[in-house]
Structure formats: structure tokens, C-alpha cells
């Protein structure tokens, strides 16, 4: 499948690398490819410069946001939460219409330090905001409940764990579930319509506290039933 | 141990019955015992009248809130979220001072229907509100992440799952962890201070959506790591 991954951080790299490794035709979209490739220092989250990742993934071109989405059948939003809507505006509704838009972003607000708060919650979610802003996109919220390495290689935990999909379009959720299964996810739970993204986004506070308590991000939930 | 359980709903009954069965000296506290025992219809959550539960648990007296707490070494707040602070005010700070106060309540607001929203979240939690209102109580937030039956009998799921403790007092958390282990909990995770109750309270939205998706409340999370 032709897939555009929007975002050059840890999540974007993990998704793009894995999807490319599985044989998909992947491009990464970013606001200013030249600026991104010119950086020589770690990004705000401590990731190595994108250029070093890019050098080891020659099959995954870095192009402007709209160009990436324009040529794709499926688009993955792997931007950080506060940048999600602006990045998608730059993509343009015409390049998202009718396409599956996988939203992995979380509405984290780090402006008051750590732990972050959520800039939308409870009566709305970032997933819903994106669906409302781009009504012709087929938004599926998923993978926002675990760290980037586990998103694309859950088997590395050594025991089954669960991931969730939320969205209004059943066929889009089926497509995304298939991709998740190709990553190794064996327990994909369909929570319901896109408003159920409120649940997975509000899960972030306990995820962050668990990361602190366990001293690692290498964990995930299994829904035991 | 002498234990007071505040609240006559499903959670209070489950806790009181289990603790009594384990040999603890348990009383249930409620605002107006005579009125509670006089009811002959199911409560707002569909539970049978308290009198029928009481008849099968003759060792567990129902007494006024303050009386229950006054004679107890450990107090369990099993009221519903909106009633928690008023009930504890009626108990009185003098009957909570120095005692472990196990808080199981969730700040659910059903005023706009289902699913409920949270009346405190993100930058504060009900657990913290209770700790601030009763600074001499040793508040431990726990068990608010699973249904009443599983709180006291997690082994019925047939596979290990996880529960959490949040609180400022390490000795109080150790006492509560011991009680949880006596119920059969084998993976009790200490999230940290009482502010980590924000995490477990904000977990409720995904719990509620999971209940809808799975069609049952008989599930719990296992933190796989």
C-alpha cells in the first residue's frame, strides 16, 4: 500500500520503518524537509537527528506534508498532539478526502512541565477534532496507548497485550486492524466510534505514571477478560 | 482489623462481605441506617435492597457514618464519587485522623447521561481533594479501576491482572497492599504519591468504553512488562 507517515519523531520513524520493512511504499511528510535533514542535533525528545535515520532507510523519502499525502492511499498522523491540526491543515483536506487517516497523536500539553496535562479531554478528543476538521477523511485512532517500539513490535514484550481502534468507518477500522496484525498485534479491540478516542487519550495520565513507577516505557496493557 | 466501609452500594457490599469473610471486624456506615434498611426497591444502580444483603451478612452491622469510622482502625470510602466529600464531612475529621483511608470512589458525573464525564480531572483528582480536606487521614487510592466483584476476587478472571495504589504514606500503602493481596491480587503496582490518582481516575473513560465494547464489566488490565 502507498502510505504517508506525517511526522519525523520517534513515532513517525518507527511506523515508517516498520511499514517499509513490510513491503509498503512509504514516504515521510514534514513541513520543511531540507530543514529537517539539515539538523545535526537531537530533537526535543532526545531522538538522534533525522538525517541519521534517513541514511539507514534510503527507501523512505522525506517530502513536504502535502506531497506525501497526495500520493498516498493511507495517511498516518504521527505528529505531536499540538502540531496535529496545523500539520493536517498544511496537508490539505483534498489530500485526505476518502482516505484512511490513522491518528496516533496525543493531546499532551507540556507547557507546565512534566507530567503533561491534556489540552482536550473528557467531553471531546483530539481524534474527534481531527475528524470534524476533515469530515471526508476516515479517521481511525489507534496506537496512542503505547510506546513507539511496541507499536510496531508488540511481540518484543514476550506476552500478549492489547491495542484499541476508534473510528466511525468500519471498513477503515478493518484496514487499520489488518496493518496492526501485520505488526504482530493479536488483540485489537474495537472500542466503537471516534468519540471513544476520549478513552484512549485520557489513558495517557496513567501510562505516564506507570512509566515513572516502572522506570521504563516498555510495557503495555492486556485487557484480561 | 476493625474496618469501616462507608457506602451501601455494590462496592461497599462487596468490600464489606469479603473483609468480613476474611475475619475482619467490619461495620458499614451510611447516612441514615433506618432509611437504608427500610428500602424495598433496587437502588439507582439496580442493586437489590440493602436489607436483603444485610440479612445474609448478620455479622456486618449497619450504623451511622461517624459511628462506623469512630470504632475503626481503617476506613474504606466506597461511596459514589459525588457523595464522597459530603459523607466524609459527616464522618468528621476527628474519626479519620491518623487512620488509613482507602478511597475507591470515582469522580463520575452522570448529570448529562451516559457515558459520564469526570467532575475533577487532569490537574487534580478526587483522591487529592479528599487528602487535602482531611490532611491527617492517610489516604490510599486503589481499586477504582475495576468492577466490584473483581476488586475482591480477581482470581475469578482466570489470569493475573493488575491493580494500583496511590498515596503519600508508604506505611498506609503497605497496609492496603496487604489487604489487596489477601483478596487475591498478585500484581499491586505502587504508582507514587496521591497525585497519581489522576491517572487511575482518568482511566475510567476507557474502562467505560471497554465495558460497552466487550459487553461485560468482568475484565481488568494486566500491565505487561
DSSP A124-135: --HHHHHHHHST
Element (H or E) spanning A32, and its range? none
Contact residues, chain A, for B225 at CB < 8 Å: 157, 214, 216, 218-220
CA-based nearest distance A35→chain B, Å: 35
Say whether pLDDT at B45 is over 90. no
CA-based nearest distance A63→chain B, Å: 36
In whole angstroms, what is the distance from residue A106 CA to residue A89 CA? 17
Burial class (CB in 10 A: 0-12, 13-18, 19+), B37: middle
Per-residue pLDDT at B141: 98
- Asked if B221's CB is within 8 angstroms of A210's CB, the reply is no
Contact residues, chain A, for B220 at CB < 8 Å: 223-225
Closest CA to B219 of A205, A143, A221: A221
Q: What is the dihedral of CA A102, A107, A111, A116, to 10 degrees?
A: -110
Closest CA to B8 of B40, B51, B41, B55: B51
CA A197, distance to chain mean position in Å, is 13
Per-residue pLDDT at A44: 76
Tens-digit pLDDT profile for chain A (225 aa)?
999 999 999 999 999 999 999 999 999 999 999 999 999 998 877 889 999 999 999 999 999 999 999 999 999 999 999 999 999 999 999 999 999 999 999 999 999 999 999 999 999 999 999 999 999 999 999 999 999 999 999 999 999 999 999 999 999 999 999 999 999 999 999 999 999 999 999 999 999 999 999 999 999 999 999
Closest CA to A157 of A177, A187, A179, A115: A187
Closest residue in chain B to residue A109, using alpha carbons only? B122
Which residue of A106, A113, A188, A202 is the best one to mutate when testing the B interface, meaning the one whose CB has the most B CBs within 10 A? A202
**Dmax over Cα atoms in chain B, in whole Å?**
49
Give the pairing of strands B220-224 and A220-224.
antiparallel
The chain B residues in contact with chain A (CB within 8 A) are 117-118, 121-123, 157, 159-161, 164, 189-192, 196, 198-200, 202-203, 205-210, 212-214, 216, 218-225
In whole angstroms, what is the distance from residue A4 CA to residue A77 CA? 9
Element (H or E) spanning A201, and its range? helix A197-201
Contact residues, chain B, for A127 at CB < 8 Å: none
Per-residue pLDDT at A167: 98
Per-residue pLDDT at B47: 85
For residues A114 and A184, the answer to whether their CB atoms sit within 8 Å is: no
- Asked if A202's CB is within 8 angstroms of B206's CB, the reply is yes
Closest CA to B18 of B140, B154, B146, B127: B154
In whole angstroms, what is the distance from residue B87 CA to residue B167 CA? 20
Enumerate the β-bridge partners of residue A64: A30
Contacts of A158 (CB under 8 A, 6+ apart): none
In whole angstroms, what is the distance from residue A27 CA to residue A47 CA? 19
Reported ipTM: the value is 0.96
Q: Average of pLDDT values for B77-106?
A: 97
Say whether pLDDT at B84 is over 80. yes
Cell of B58: 448478620
Q: Which residue has the cell 450504623?
A: B63
CA-based nearest distance B40→chain A, Å: 34
- Asked if A199's CB is within 8 angstroms of B205's CB, the reply is yes
Give the pairing of strands B108-109 and A25-30.
unpaired
Contact residues, chain A, for B218 at CB < 8 Å: 225
Per-residue pLDDT at A160: 98
B110-160 pLDDT tens trace: 999 999 999 999 999 999 999 999 999 999 999 999 999 999 999 999 999
Strand order in the sheet with A74-77: A62-64, A25-30, A2-6, A74-77, A100-103, A138-142, A163-167, A188-192
Cell of B117: 464525564
Q: Average of pLDDT values for B37-41?
A: 93
Q: What is the dihedral of CA B26, B30, B33, B37, to 10 degrees?
A: -80
Q: Average of pLDDT values for B70-77?
A: 97
Which residue of B106, B114, B118, B122 is the best one to mutate when testing the A interface, meaning the one whose CB has the most A CBs within 10 A? B122
What integer best gives the mean pLDDT of chain B?
A: 97
Contact residues, chain A, for B208 at CB < 8 Å: 199
Domain positions in chain A: 2-214
Contact residues, chain B, for A190 at CB < 8 Å: 213
Per-residue pLDDT at B44: 76
- Asked which of B27-31, B113-117, B148-152, B191-195 is least confident by mean pLDDT, the reply is B113-117
Contacts of B199 (CB under 8 A, 6+ apart): A205, A206, A207, A208, A209, A210, B164, B166, B191
Contact residues, chain A, for B121 at CB < 8 Å: 121-122, 202
Say whether pLDDT at B46 is over 90. no
Closest CA to A148 of A4, A18, A55: A18
- Asked if B199's CB is within 8 angstroms of A202's CB, the reply is no
The CATH number that domain B2-214 falls under is 3.40.50.720
Spell out where A56-99 has E strands. 62-64, 74-77
Per-residue pLDDT at A33: 97
Amino acid at each position: 500500500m502507498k502510505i504517508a507517515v506525517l511526522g519525523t519523531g520517534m513515532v513517525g520513524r518507527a511506523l515508517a520503518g516498520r511499514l517499509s520493512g513490510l513491503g509498503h511504499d512509504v514516504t515521510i511528510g514534514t513541513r520543511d524537509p531540507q530543514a529537517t535533514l539539515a539538523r545535526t542535533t537531537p530533537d526535543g525528545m532526545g531522538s538522534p537527528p533525522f538525517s541519521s535515520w534517513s541514511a539507514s532507510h534510503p527507501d523512505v523519502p522525506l517530502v513536504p506534508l502535502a506531497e506525501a499525502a497526495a500520493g498516498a492511499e493511507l495517511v498516518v498522523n504521527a505528529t505531536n498532539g499540538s502540531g496535529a491540526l496545523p500539520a493536517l491543515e498544511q496537508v490539505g483536506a483534498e489530500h485526505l478526502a476518502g482516505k484512511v487517516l490513522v491518528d496516533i497523536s496525543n493531546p499532551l500539553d507540556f507547557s507546565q512541565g512534566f507530567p503533561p496535562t491534556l489540552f482536550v479531554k473528557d467531553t471531546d478528543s483530539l481524534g474527534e477534532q481531527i475528524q470534524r476538521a476533515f469530515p471526508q477523511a476516515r479517521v481511525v485512532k489507534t496506537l496512542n496507548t503505547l510506546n513507539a517500539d511496541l507499536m510496531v513490535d508488540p511481540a518484543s514484550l514476550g506476552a500478549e497485550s492489547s491495542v484499541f481502534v476508534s473510528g466511525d468507518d468500519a471498513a477503515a477500522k478493518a484496514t487499520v486492524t489488518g496493518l496492526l496484525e501485520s505488526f504482530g498485534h493479536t488483540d485489537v479491540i474495537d472500542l466503537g466510534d471516534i468519540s471513544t478516542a476520549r478513552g484512549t487519550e485520557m489513558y495517557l495520565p496513567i501510562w505516564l505514571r506507570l512509566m515513572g513507577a516502572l522506570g521504563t516505557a516498555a510495557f503495555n496493557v492486556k485487557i484480561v477478560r
